[in-house]
Structures are given as C-alpha cells and as structure tokens.
Structure 1
Amino acid sequence: MKESFSEMRSETYSPKYISRLRWSIVIPFVAIAIVLLGFFIDSVSDPSTDTASDMIFFLLFLISGSLAGWLVYEMARNQDEKISGLLINHQGILFLNRNAKVLSEIKYQDLAKSQDPYTKDIFSESASNGKYGNFRKNLYVHEKDENRKSKKKLVNLDVIPLKNRYDLIGYFLKGIQTFRPDLKINPEVYKDFYLDEKTLRYAPENLKSDMKVKIITIAVIILVIIAFRYFFLDEI
C-alpha cells in the first residue's frame, strides 16, 4: 500500500516573487512609521498641541514600527528554521525547510478519533470568528495530547504561499482514507475546500460557484445597509 501511494509536493511561488511580496508589505509599514514619527516630533515641538495628540502619534508609531521590525526579523532569521515546502506521502504531511529537513509533521498513525460525539474526526472550521469568518475555512484533525486525550489540531497549510493548497488538502484526505479508514471525515470538508468527493481532486468549478454565492451575499448585505441608512434612519 505504501508503494502505491505516491508523493505530492507543494507548489510555491518563486523566491524572487515571495521576496518582492514581503518587501511590498514591509516598506509601507516603514513609511507609515517614519511619517508618524515626524508627526510625533512636530506635535511635541508645538506647544499648542495637547498631550493626548502626542501619545496617539507615539502609540501609532510604536505599532507600525514594531510590525515593520517583526516583518524584517521574520525575513532575515535563519532560513533553516523556516518552512519552505510541504510533502504528503504514506507517513502523513511533512513540513520541510529549504534543505528538505523535516521541521514538523502530522502522521496518519498519530491521528485520533474525536471524543465529541457531535464532531467528526476530520472537520473544517472557520478561520476566524468574525462577521465573514465563514468565507475562509481551515482543516482540523484530532491527535492525542500528553494526557492521551484527543484534542483538535490545525492542519496549517498557510505557513507558505501555495499554488496547490486545495490539491494538497485533497491528497492528505486521500491518505487518511487509505491508511486510517477508521476515521470519519465530515462531508462538509469536501465542499469547503472545493474538492470532488470521489476523486478528492480540486474542482475549480466548485470554487467559482462558491465565489458567486459569496459575492451575491456581500452585495445583498451592502444593499441592506444602504437601504437601512438612507430609508429607515431618515424616517426616525
């Protein structure tokens, strides 16, 4: 069975593209920090401004400067400690550095059944609890903790920019079906990651259909807000 289960590797963007993308995020934060620092200096130098304005500019400068510094640190820190690729094989999903060394892994043999009767062993969940959290889903499995109790674990594929995110998820699910048929997968998982339930391959048409629904939903919400603002509030 191991021999018949081939490997699937992550497809990522070129290092130059990723580097440009990262710098395109860092540079605006640096620019904002410099501008805010200038505002803070001007505010402190002007005796007519109050202390509250000084503190606001200084606080905003600290926030933007800290974010810029953290982003630069993340880009400059030891590349051997950073995940640069993913590999799915008969063992599970492996997170690799640039030298193909395994930094972390989720093995099929370590997966556990859910202790919650209302939660499947493999399921999807909103990426956030915000108003539009349902627009982005993450994959979860269950593993045993140090007390041998089952707990949910995020299968985080967003550690690097991926071209084949949904194909990787589908192949990981195929591995679970192959090596851990005792585990139950929530049927919603296939829909949330736009997979063909039979082949477990990414189906772009499912994504297009889902995006249409979400765009229509957002448009309806915006129209309702506008209608409420201009028609109902004016009557109060």
Structure 2
Amino acid sequence: MDTINTDNFPALSSRHSRGLTFFIKGFGWFFSVFIFVCAIVTAIMVFSKKSFTPGVEILQIGICLLLLLLFGWLILFSLRKSQKNNFTRLVVDINGICYYNDTGCIKKMLFVDLKSGPDTDYYDVFLNDPGEDGPYYLLFYLIDSTTGKLKIGSVDFNTQTVIINSNKIHRHFIKGIQLFRPDLRIAPGVLDLYRIEKN
C-alpha cells in the first residue's frame, strides 16, 4: 500500500446506515405511542372506578402527566435538533472537513483554521476527560468564523441518519492534521485511541 502524503491524501466520506436509523426512530416512535396509550389507559381506569381513593388516583394521574410532559419535551427536542442539523454527509479531504446537504457544501472546518492552544503546556489536539466510562470526544482549537475568537471545536456527527464510520472519519482527520499541520501538538492518548503512528 502506498504511503499517504500531502500529494495523495484521499478524501473519505461518511457512510450512513438507513436501516439502523429507521430502527432507532421506529423504536422511539413506538415508545412515544406506548407512553401516550399508557397515560390514556391509566386515566380511563382511574375515572371508571366506582370507589375513589384520592391518594392513589392523584398519584397515577400525576405520573401520567409527567410521562406526557416527558413525551412532549422529547418530541420538541428532536424537532429542534432536526432543524438545526441539516447536513447529510461529511467529507475529510486535503482541505479539512466539509459538511454537505442536498445543495452542496454548507459548512467547512479547514486544517488552516486549526490553531495552537493558548497554553503552551498542553496539547493542541486532545481528548476530553469524560470521567469514568464516558464517551471520548476529539477536541481541537480553531478560530470561530462568526466571532473571530479562539474556541475549542470538535467534529459534528449530529445528522439525521446514523454514521457508521465515525471512527474512520476521526482517524483520517487526525492523519490530515499530522500531514498538513505538523506544527500542532497531538496528545498521545489521541494517537493511541485511533491507532495512529506518531510522525
């Protein structure tokens, strides 16, 4: 296999699993309908009783209302999230990461936009500290395009579908940083996690 250098750095596109996406969304809708039906059945059972004991019925109605509020909040949260993230795929190439929707590239995170961190004792590309058994996020410093200030960024994978090659995307992005931005210091934990050899 040829070694990858700045002249032959291949583009890597995200791969999506529509089947897994439909399964997760279907399970979510099933659970949402189940909560709604349980709330209605509980309300019918409470109001159809001839003997009325206020403590138990009020508790049942309160639980039903809490479940309905949770159901409504989840629907609003998912609708707001789906409006915010409107890209359908992302590509890592010689320039950096480009987020695409049906019309074209809508957002870019270029290698040239990555910057050194403000503290020289720390790394420029690093993992967050999630505590015990938490998910790791690849973090790096970049200039915010709206404010022009230095901020910590990460690769955004919040699409409408499940991305099944997110680790490969991260790995390819880190290799791009090694090739095109050798001035940035990458934490050893990042290289170990994504099994990348240090240059």
Q: Which TM bucket (shorter chain)?
A: 0.7 to 0.9
Q: Tell me which residue corresponds to 1:228.
A: none
Higher relative contact order (CA 8 A, sep 6+): 2
The CA distance in 2 between the partners of 1:70 and 1:25, in whole Å, is 13
Does 2:186 match 1:185?
A: yes
Q: CA deviation at 1:68?
A: 4.4
Output aligned runs, 1:152-163, within 5 Å.
152-157=152-157, 159=159, 160-163=161-164
> What does the per-residue CA deviation read over 1:30-58, in whole Å, with 9 as the maximum and x for residues that have no partner?
21222123324533565313334422321
CA distance in 2, matches of 1:119, 1:96: 33
- Between 1:140-149 and 1:166-175, the stretch displaced more is 140-149
Distance 1:49 1:63 in 2: 24
TM-score, scaled relative to structure 2: 0.78
- Give the distance between the partners of 2:44 and 2:115, measured in 1 at CA: 57
Q: Does the CA-based 8 Å contact 1:137-1:192 persist in structure 2?
A: no
Distance 1:184 1:5 in 2: 20
Cα RMSD of the aligned pairs, angstroms, is: 3.0
TM-score by structure 1 length? 0.67
Structure 1 residues 174 and 103: CA distance shift in structure 2, 3 A: same
For structure 1, list consecutive stretches of 5 or more residues without a partner in the other structure.
Answer: 200-236
**How do 1:26-45 residues align onto structure 2 when only pairs under 5 Å count?**
26-43=29-46
Local SS of the residue matching 1:86: strand
2:105 is equivalent to residue 106 of structure 1: no
Question: What is residue 150 of structure 2 aligned with on the other side?
Answer: 150
The within-5 A match list for 1:4-19 is 4-13=8-17, 15-19=18-22
Matched, 1:95 2:114: no
Q: In structure 2, what is the equivalent of residue 139 of structure 1?
A: 138
Give how far 1:26 is off: 1.9
Q: Which residue of 2 aligns with 1:48?
A: 53
Work out whether 1:67 is the aligned partner of 2:67: no
Name the one with the larger helix percent.
1
The percentage of counterpart residues that share the same residue type is 23
CA–CA distance in structure 2, aligned partners of residues 161 and 34 of structure 1: 28
d(CA) in 1 for partners of 2:104 and 2:167?
23
Going from structure 1 to structure 2, the CA distance change for 1:147 and 1:164 (only over 3 Å counts) comes to closer
* Alpha-carbon separation, structure 1, partners of 2:77 and 2:36: 13
Q: Give the length in aligned residue pairs.
A: 189
